[in-house]
A and B are shown apart, each in its own frame.
Chain A
Amino acid sequence: MTTTTLDDTRPRNALWGWLGLALVVWIAAYWNLTAFADFLLALTGLDRATHTGEAVHFFLYDTPKVLLLLTGIVFAMGIVHTWVSPERTRALLSGKRLGVGNVFAASLGIVTPFCSCSAVPLFIGFLSAGVPLGVTFSFLISAPMVNEVALALLFGMFGWKVAGLYLVMGLTVAIVAGLVIGKLGMERHLEDWVRALQSGTGAAHVDEKLSWAERIDSAIAQVKDIFGKVWPYIIAGIALGAGIHGYVPEDFMASIMGKDAPWWSVPAAVVIGVPMYTNAAGIIPIVEALIGKGAALGTVLAFMMSVIALSLPEMIILRKVLKLPLIATFAGVVAVGILVVGYVFNAVL
């Protein structure tokens, strides 16, 4: 909205005030996480030197940290999402050629709101608007894998280098896999009714004009929504992570998942990840605990990407629109990409 009347400036100022206050509280809380965990641990009477004490301390430190990071990032992305709708992304991508289109699609995958239950409508909607098959796949791979939740958690737990590498590697996998699928010309492996739809164009979509108050409301709604969905996964993930952290001996993982582990440890991590289905929020606390015990970063990240990007339930949903050869190609190409990422991470870091 470009017009600002006197009437809506006053609530708007109050809005910014609340937002500023929330930011200050957020930062203060984030800086005092260790003190908070120490304090709570002291209340339980446990000693950090014991296994139980260390596990409980890990849990008390990590839970508020992950929840804070998640709130902050989901809110910020919630604001961004009010500008980027799937409809707008589709309009940007339609008619793009293989190559540039794949880079575009993978990048837009990061900022476009995406829910795995919408994967199929999105897939068909993109194709019917003239987005090439390979470009559509780049989007479909990037959107769940390189998302704000994954990046926020990686940043919080391992710092910007790992988060950055994950971002670059995730985008690369999505772009290359999409290019390969596009080059293979597998359009004939779409289900017949999907191909019949392709001639038509999607319904026109009117973008709603929103005020800042509405954008913020929408972001808050998104925080509530995502929180409501992922908190059990996060708590379970952190609890499991805390158990590994407290009880599994140091370097236990080094022999099977470490740098000097046999070459097959990366493929094994990918294979184990496929039947598992959870989101980034649930898997990252486990990742952190495994790394703390000597697992190599590349192997663990390959495991994580496999859990998120290659899941059996998603394949079953996609089967409604894709014939088996195309699903197999999709899974194969992505798996190879993840393997390469695993080996590269292990070699570089």
Chain B
Amino acid sequence: MKNVKVLGTGCANCKNTIKLIDDIAKARGVEVELEKVEEIKDIMAWGILSTPGVVIDGKVVHSGGVPSREKVEGWLSA
């Protein structure tokens, strides 16, 4: 099971990102452990500059804006 963390201080884009990942995971029947990281200290520990950021299995794969559907599908299928 993949561990997916969404880094963001709770802005609209962060919520959309979580929802997008959740929707795609459900639609494809992929089991993921989805985590919200909202504390700014914890977000900064990942070294990203713009939110929302996405971390999959301990690796930053995306930052700044809602990721595209294709991108998310790519993460979940790999």
**Chain A residues near B (Cβ < 8 Å):** 85-87, 90, 113, 115, 117-118, 120-122, 124-126, 128, 193, 197, 200, 202-203, 205, 221, 225, 317, 320-321
Contact = CB atoms under 8 A, between A and B. Distances in A.
A113 B49 CA distance: 11
25 contacts: A86-B50, A87-B49, A90-B49, A115-B50, A117-B8, A117-B14, A118-B51, A120-B9, A120-B40, A121-B43, A121-B48, A121-B51, A122-B50, A124-B40, A124-B44, A193-B41, A197-B44, A200-B47, A203-B47, A203-B48, A203-B60, A205-B49, A225-B65, A320-B40, A321-B40
Contacts of A126: 49
A125 B49 contact: yes
B40 A86 contact: no
Contacts, number: 57
Contacts of B47: 125, 128, 200, 202-203
Contacts of A115: 11, 13, 50, 65
Given A85-B64, A202-B49, A203-B48, 17 more contacts: A86-B49, A113-B50, A115-B13, A115-B65, A117-B8, A117-B9, A118-B51, A121-B40, A121-B48, A121-B50, A122-B50, A128-B47, A197-B44, A203-B46, A203-B47, A225-B65, A317-B9
Interface of B is mostly: loop
For B11, B47, B48, which residue has the most chain A Cβ atoms within 10 angstroms?
B47
Nearest to B43: A121
Interface in B27-78: 40-41, 43-44, 46-51, 60, 64-65, 68
Contacts of A193: 41
A11 B14 CA distance: 33
Interface band, chain B: 10 to 19
Contacts of A205: 49
B41 A121 contact: no
A118 B50 contact: yes
Contacts of A221: 68
A321 to B, nearest CB: 7
A200 B50 CA distance: 18
Given A122-B50, A202-B49, A113 B44 contact: no
A90 B70 CA distance: 28
